[in-house]
Amino acid sequence: MSAIVKKKKKIEEIERGTRTIDSLGVAFGKGNLKCFLGNINGVVDVIPGDLVVNAILVAMVAHANHPSDNVIYHLCSSLGNPITYNNLQDYALSYFTSKPWINKDGTPVKVGKVTVLTNMESFRRYMFIRYLLWLKVNFLSP
């Protein structure tokens, strides 16, 4: 019984992990990310996975014989080397242009710049023009 509970918890952890910035990268690479609500010049805290893993390994070795509950490790900061959403978009565009996602039918996905919406009013307007207007027209026509 406990194996089933552990398995379910692991699946939940994996699902939570893919709800972060990874999902934006995957959606962009598949050509599904059409718009983004936010400040294109906003700074993003992105910590490379290998840096985190290396820090964990060093901390384990450093505290193997001296366990402590009061240790905090600071790896990096966005103040020292900031990355903006604009940088991320440029990096993703460059990457997926040179190494496109391949669809199930074997064709490469072409990606382009994402429409960045800076406030809720522009988001509502975009959603209305792009989706809601066409839905209303389709439901009103016989």
Q: If we measure between CA atoms, which residue out of 73, 51, 52, 47 comes closest to residue 62?
A: 73
Question: How large a percentage of the chain has pLDDT more than 70?
Answer: 82
The structure's pTM equals 0.62
* Cβ within 8 Å of residue 100, ≥6 positions away: 29, 108, 109, 110, 111
Per-residue pLDDT tens over the stretch 88-128: 889 999 999 999 999 889 999 999 999 999 999 999 999 88
User: Any idea where the domains of the chain sit in the sequence?
Assistant: 47-80
- Predicted confidence band of residue 26 (pLDDT cuts 50, 70, 90): confident
